[in-house]
Amino acid sequence: MTNRITIAEAAQHVGETVEIAGWLYNLRKSGKIVFPIVRDGTGLMQGVALKNNLPEDVFENLKHLTQESSLLVRGKLRAEARAPGGYEMDVESVDILQKVSEADPYPITPKDHGVEFLMDHRHLWLRSQRQHAIIRVRHEIIKAVRDYFDNHGFTLVDTPIFTPAACEGTTTLFEVNYFDDEKAYLTQSGQLYNEANAMAFGKVYCFGPTFRAEKSKTRRHLTEFWMVEPEMAFADLEEIKRVAEEFVVYIVGRVLDKRREELKVLERDTTKLEAVQSPFVRMSYDDAVKNLQAHGSEIQWGSDFGGGDETILTQQFDRPMLVDRFPSEIKAFYMAPDPDRPEVALGVDVLAPEGYGEIIGGGQRIHDPELLLRRIEEHKLPKEAFDWYIDLRKYGTVPHGGFGMGIERAVAWICGLEHIRETIAFPRMLYRLRP
Amino acid sequence: MTNRITIAEAAQHVGETVEIAGWLYNLRKSGKIVFPIVRDGTGLMQGVALKNNLPEDVFENLKHLTQESSLLVRGKLRAEARAPGGYEMDVESVDILQKVSEADPYPITPKDHGVEFLMDHRHLWLRSQRQHAIIRVRHEIIKAVRDYFDNHGFTLVDTPIFTPAACEGTTTLFEVNYFDDEKAYLTQSGQLYNEANAMAFGKVYCFGPTFRAEKSKTRRHLTEFWMVEPEMAFADLEEIKRVAEEFVVYIVGRVLDKRREELKVLERDTTKLEAVQSPFVRMSYDDAVKNLQAHGSEIQWGSDFGGGDETILTQQFDRPMLVDRFPSEIKAFYMAPDPDRPEVALGVDVLAPEGYGEIIGGGQRIHDPELLLRRIEEHKLPKEAFDWYIDLRKYGTVPHGGFGMGIERAVAWICGLEHIRETIAFPRMLYRLRP
């Protein structure tokens, strides 16, 4: 039996006769030769099939084979610089597993399709080279994220998806019917639980899907997105900023190191990614507001940035920005105030360059039990739901903090994508729950 | 300023004066000496504090310090075989950050507490050595799972949590209010989407939380649990069994290699884990039924195993079992029938030894479009909801399959735990949604 290999393994089998199992990606014909390009999920392999070398029916069947038909091809491998992937197969035999019907052909052709059509056919669209490149970069980013934390002494502690109460405000919660008429809510952030875990393990991270029922239909929002959230006991704002910067440099470096080919498919300008080095631009919220006003924004001190503001800011620099000390008023109840200026919070956002904007938000949490209780009252939150969270300030409270990075926003930035919908296999949005 | 280290780093700092930031785990007194044991999430460090070496108030405060108070201790490190962790600190100074109130002491003391009490205080219970060991083994298993698939050519493709339809039957679905009165369901398995991804990438895996609204209150059920699911194009049942076996051997080996200390804390009999080697016991469902009947079970051919049946089976062998070819009737609609015996399905379960039972379920999927359509009709499933799934059989169908492993069951087995509730930081069960 012929040795079956994947296309990614071709380099180790030059000169050998091997079998590749895959799908017909493209076919060119030239008289007595056909050039089938086969994909197997790991790459593309061009075959060279000569009429004279194959039984007549095999050659004819191959010649009329339809896109995405499944097949086994066997033949000898040659290095061939002009072929996609750098290798070519002299086809010796072909088994067609399924010929896609000519009456009902594969719906995604090389011509342009509208986005809604492609999204409706997401289960098939994923077979395209561009989507492969994005998903492989996403995989690399996720690996890099985990490696960074695993190699820096963080313990992975998964936080729950079902939560009894809101963390980031109640208007954007998805409600679930739990048992016996109880209600649960889908997590918007693992942070509160992360704080308990940090008091147990010192440095922790969680990494899973999070949910926001936002009725916004922008190129930056999904209702279901993955977030990684580290949390550190005994960490202050400066340490949180240091870790966030080192972390972002690390993941961008890993993608440049391992996924050059994919970035090329995406036509990503890699010089922009190579510029992502320490030190990042550091700016206070105060200075950012002045900068924005000087660039024509109508923002006033006390407001959050609009998407347009982040674009104005981040287009001025070639590397990410750390913006810190936002007004406490616009931040979550648990954000620690600056002791020297309590009207600002010890929070930080990391904004990606090229107009991408916020990819990370974080900061120091309140560790003083009385201040936390006051904030829970001021925000009119149900104290009983936070009893366990208050416990963390009663039994050995320490300064602590962390941040969250949305994976899809990081993928969109690193891949250079216009819209976040391509950063995940099956995106979920306001009007998109299928396939 | 004194160099701050974690307790895990002590070995590299013997003879140095260092600072450790943590919580008081325990305190012994002996006249003019106190022995505070500090935990920092990475380990335990015993301090030796002599009355004569410290200011009187510092010594007195330390002597009366309460459990879980937060503090900084500084001093010189010594190797000391009798101390927990193997090192000891000669205390030179102490800063108490927060003394836990004597009137409202840390609720979890070394005495025995009931399980409900501990579960209600899960946010604090996680600070105990036993819970640390379990969560660290869990982290290692998750790393090993990802490393196995990453190193064997699988692409990570996350599948959606919000799904429009059921995969494994409709009675155990959690329903979510999506927008504008639409309903979504929380995923019970990423498998159907995995199949689309396998047709795009060849070999894929997804790894995330899954949900079952089962009204069962057993030691093996959570409503929210993490599952890893690989799926492979061009794979038959034998290949799926081969991968499942190699995978289980790999993750058990990794835990033995990296987490001996934690297994010791859990008093796990590691000889039982060392026996987990290839080849696993292989048995058909037919033979398993005969075996069970011979051991007194009342099972009849055609029924699924009860929990007791899995215990009877797995206590006979020192390594996991692969049981295959279950009756098609009791398996999901997408399971491929054995071509030689269509009344049985090409499915396989992996049962862990020592009575733990099923940790993996999987098999070959139907790839014939007509048979799949027939099964969807027989199971009275709404065809429209599966149109995209049927597409996978129209556009280049190939034999394929995979499996799913529930992480919490694997953790329970490898750690040797009685109940699954300790295998995740914040377990969710029928009557448990808090903290």
**CATH code of the domain in which B168 resides:** 3.30.930.10
Taking CA atoms, what residue in A is nearest to B185? A176
Query: Given pLDDT bands bounded at 50, 70 and 90, which one contains residue A168?
Result: low
A354 and A239 in one domain? yes
CB distance from A425 to chain B under 8 Å?
yes
Query: A310 is written with which tokens?
Result: 């982040």
B150 and B67 in one domain? no
Q: How many CB atoms lie within 10 A of CB B233?
A: 27
Q: For chain A, how big is the Rg over CA atoms in Å?
A: 26
Q: Is residue B413 part of a domain?
A: yes
Q: Is residue A430 part of a domain?
A: no
Distance from CA of A121 to the nearest CA of B (A): 8
Q: Chain A residues with CB inside 8 Å of B41's CB?
A: 155, 198, 200-203, 233
Would you call B162 and A224 a contact, using CB atoms and an 8 Å cutoff?
Answer: yes
Of all residues in chain B, the percent with pLDDT exceeding 90 is 89
Q: Is residue B359 part of a domain?
A: yes
Interface of B with A in 192-231 (CB under 8 A): 193, 196-203, 208-209, 211, 213, 215, 223-224, 226
Would you call A98 and B397 a contact, using CB atoms and an 8 Å cutoff?
Answer: yes
A286 and A223 in one domain? yes
**Residue partners of B18: CB distance under 8 A and separation at least 6:** B2, B3, B4, B5, B74, B75, B76, B77, B89
Disruptive mutation site among A9, A117, A123 for chain B (greatest number of B CBs within 10 Å): A123
A129 and A93 in one domain? no
Strands B155-156 and A183-186: unpaired
Would you call B126 and A202 a contact, using CB atoms and an 8 Å cutoff?
Answer: no
Nearest by CB: A155 against B97, B139, B198: B139
Identity at B429, one-letter amino acid code? M
* Residues comprising chain B, all counted: 435
Taking CA atoms, what residue in B is nearest to A71? B396
Q: Is residue A214 part of a domain?
A: yes
A67 and A178 in one domain? no
Q: What is the mean pLDDT of residues A326-338?
A: 96
Interface of B with A in 100-139 (CB under 8 A): 100-101, 104, 106, 121, 123-124, 126-127, 131-132, 135-136, 138-139
CB distance from B153 to chain A under 8 Å?
yes
Query: Given pLDDT bands bounded at 50, 70 and 90, which one contains residue A112?
Result: confident
Taking CA atoms, what residue in B is nearest to A129? B200
Query: A372 is written with which tokens?
Result: 């936390």
Per-residue confidence (pLDDT) for residue B170, from 0 to 100: 66
Would you call A388 and B434 a contact, using CB atoms and an 8 Å cutoff?
Answer: yes
Query: Given pLDDT bands bounded at 50, 70 and 90, which one contains residue B300?
Result: very high
Taking CA atoms, what residue in B is nearest to A41? B201
Q: Is residue B219 over pLDDT 90?
A: no
- Return d(Cα B210, Cα B56) in angstroms, integer: 56
Q: Chain A residues with CB inside 8 Å of B211's CB?
A: 161
B153 and B10 in one domain? no
Q: Is residue B36 over pLDDT 80?
A: yes
Per-residue confidence (pLDDT) for residue A219, from 0 to 100: 87
Q: Is residue B430 part of a domain?
A: no
B294 and B403 in one domain? yes
Would you call A146 and B150 a contact, using CB atoms and an 8 Å cutoff?
Answer: no
Would you call A160 and B106 a contact, using CB atoms and an 8 Å cutoff?
Answer: no
- Return d(Cα B225, Cα A223) in angstroms, integer: 21
State pLDDT tens for residues A345-360.
Answer: 999 999 999 999 999 9
Of all residues in chain B, the percent with pLDDT exceeding 70 is 99
Q: Chain A residues with CB inside 8 Å of B143's CB?
A: 146, 150, 156
A79 and A183 in one domain? no
Q: Chain A residues with CB inside 8 Å of B1's CB?
A: none
Would you call A176 and B176 a contact, using CB atoms and an 8 Å cutoff?
Answer: yes
Would you call B98 and A396 a contact, using CB atoms and an 8 Å cutoff?
Answer: yes
Taking CA atoms, what residue in B is nearest to A69? B396
- Residue B354 sits at φ, ψ, to 5 deg, of 60, 25
Give the 3-state secondary structure of residue A133: helix
Distance from CA of B117 to the nearest CA of A (A): 13
Q: Chain B residues with CB inside 8 Å of A22's CB?
A: 202
Would you call B162 and A398 a contact, using CB atoms and an 8 Å cutoff?
Answer: no
Q: Is residue A96 over pLDDT 80?
A: yes
Give the 3-state secondary structure of residue B283: strand
Q: Is residue A14 over pLDDT 60?
A: yes
CB distance from B256 to chain A under 8 Å?
no
Q: Chain A residues with CB inside 8 Å of B428's CB?
A: 160-162
Q: Is residue B103 part of a domain?
A: no
Q: What is the mean pLDDT of residues B104-114?
A: 91
Would you call A21 and B233 a contact, using CB atoms and an 8 Å cutoff?
Answer: yes
For residue A277, give the nearest of A315, A246, A237 by alpha carbon.
A246
Q: Chain B residues with CB inside 8 Å of A24's CB?
A: 396
Structural domain count of chain A: 2
Cβ-contact B364, B198 below 8 angstroms? no
Q: Is residue A24 part of a domain?
A: yes
- Return d(Cα A144, Cα A430) in angstroms, integer: 30
Q: How many CB pairs under 8 A join A and B?
A: 239
B372 and B298 in one domain? yes
Peptide bond before residue A279 is cis, with ω within 30 degrees of 0: yes
A146 and A254 in one domain? yes
State pLDDT tens for residues A204-232.
Answer: 999 999 999 988 888 888 999 999 999 99
Would you call A433 and B184 a contact, using CB atoms and an 8 Å cutoff?
Answer: yes
> What number is the ipTM of this complex?
0.97
- Please, which residues bridge with residue A93 across strands? A74
Interface of B with A in 2-31 (CB under 8 A): 6, 8, 21-24
Cβ-contact A91, A54 below 8 angstroms? yes
Q: Is residue A401 over pLDDT 90?
A: yes
Q: What is the mean pLDDT of residues B383-400?
A: 96
For residue A360, give the nearest of A308, A310, A296 by alpha carbon.
A310
Strands A44-50 and A33-39: antiparallel
Peptide bond before residue A435 is cis, with ω within 30 degrees of 0: yes
Q: Which domain holds residue B24?
A: 3-98
Query: Given pLDDT bands bounded at 50, 70 and 90, which one contains residue A69?
Result: very high
Distance from CA of B246 to the nearest CA of A (A): 19
Q: Is residue B234 over pLDDT 80?
A: yes
State pLDDT tens for residues B94-104.
Answer: 999 999 999 99
Domain holding B79: CATH number?
Answer: 2.40.50.140
Q: Chain B residues with CB inside 8 Å of A394's CB?
A: 100-101, 104
Per-residue confidence (pLDDT) for residue A167, from 0 to 100: 53
Query: Given pLDDT bands bounded at 50, 70 and 90, which one contains residue B167?
Result: low
CB distance from A159 to chain B under 8 Å?
yes
CB distance from A98 to chain B under 8 Å?
yes
Q: Where are the beta strands (DSSP E) in B103-254?
A: 155-156, 162-163, 175-177, 183-186, 203-211, 224-233
For residue A431, give the nearest of A218, A227, A225 by alpha carbon.
A218
Interface of A with B in 342-381 (CB under 8 A): none
Q: Is residue B133 part of a domain?
A: yes
Would you call B199 and A127 a contact, using CB atoms and an 8 Å cutoff?
Answer: yes
Average confidence score pLDDT of chain A: 95
Where does residue A354 fall: left (phi above 0), alpha (psi -120 to 50 degrees), or beta otherwise? left
Q: What is the mean pLDDT of residues B397-408?
A: 98
CB distance from A382 to chain B under 8 Å?
no
Q: Chain A residues with CB inside 8 Å of B97's CB?
A: 396-398
Disruptive mutation site among B201, B229, B388 for chain A (greatest number of A CBs within 10 Å): B201
CB distance from B98 to chain A under 8 Å?
yes
Q: Chain B residues with CB inside 8 Å of A135's CB?
A: 155, 157, 201
Please give the span between the terminal C-alpha atoms of chain B, in angstroms, as a whole number. Answer: 39
Query: Given pLDDT bands bounded at 50, 70 and 90, which one contains residue B10?
Result: very high
Note the pTM of the prediction, 2 decimals: 0.97
A133 and A67 in one domain? no
Would you call A159 and B426 a contact, using CB atoms and an 8 Å cutoff?
Answer: yes
Cβ-contact A309, A323 below 8 angstroms? no
- Return d(Cα B321, Cα A84) in angstroms, integer: 44
B375 and B414 in one domain? yes
DSSP structure string for A11-80: GGGTTSEEEEEEEEEEEEEETTEEEEEEE-SS-EEEEEEEGGGS-HHHHHHHHTPPTT-EEEEEEEEEE-
- Return d(Cα A280, Cα A324) in angstroms, integer: 13
